[in-house]
Amino acid sequence: MARTLTRTRIRQYSADGVRQREDVLAAEEPLEIRVGGVAMAVTMRTPGHDIELVHGFLHAEGVIRSADDVAVARYCESVDAEGRNTYNVLDVRLSGGAQLAPERVRTVLGTSACGVCGTAAIEAVGRRSHYPLAPGPQLTAATVMALPDALRVLQPQFSRTGGLHGCGLARPDGTIEFAREDIGRHNAMDKVIGAMLLGGRLPLTDSVLVTSSRASFELVQKATLAGCAVLVAVSAPSSLAVELARSADLTLVAFTRSHSFNIYSAAHRIAD
């Protein structure tokens, strides 16, 4: 689906005067996630790679552990005013006839800014984690500082709109082997983790997750549940993100620039 971008006419003011021109916007549409026909959640996302997103989301919610837990994932027939399928409702049928537990159903809309919407706590993350964090990769400081620029190269839609977050999966040498974009930072990470789950790559023992956004609680949560021991963020961390990272022994790096970065937890994985 070529629905990641939309175009609109704008009136631009500058020192050179005023002109009419076309602008490119990042698309934002709702995705209703159903499990066995039961509506579980609605998230605002950039269309594309929805199957990956749903697998990553369900993994972080503790509904699935591997791709084998999903029998089929398909779009439902949700139509717009002109009778066209919106591709905004995706239903997952679990293997073996498993059903969604009632407590897994969210009662609020998940915006593109909020992943867990207050439903998770640090203790719950510890209980749901299937992958105790391994020693993890060892990174040099130079490798860490190069990661944001390496991720930016793999964000073509951000370059056009300025409105999409990116998440990348990097090797210990700093090579980013996989990346996804989305208007929601948590969706971008779900797409990466979901793709790795579909490929049988979990846990992410020797990998680094890199995000173009701030390091919020839900991103640390998702990284921890995927068995990834290092999360590198371009912007600031939140207090709860730092608390969870320290509790899980996850290396949390934030305010990452080409010449500096801050380590908030588990500094032993970064060489001085």
Cβ proximity of 45 and 53 under 8 Å: yes
Those residues whose C-beta lies under 8 Å from the C-beta of residue 82, and which sit 6 or more positions away, are none
Cβ proximity of 253 and 235 under 8 Å: no
Backbone angles phi, psi at 4, to 5 degrees: -80, -20
Query: Is 167 one of the catalytic residues?
Result: no
Residue 26 burial class via C-beta count within 10 angstroms: exposed 0-12, middle 13-18, buried 19 and up? buried
Could you check whether the bond before residue 203 is cis, i.e. omega within 30 degrees of 0? yes
Among the options 114, 117, 167, 228, which is catalytic?
114
Distance separating alpha carbons of residues 46 and 178, to the nearest angstrom: 18
The DSSP element (H or E) to which 39 belongs, if any, is: strand 38-45
Distance separating alpha carbons of residues 48 and 33, to the nearest angstrom: 14
Catalytic residue numbers, as ranges: 114
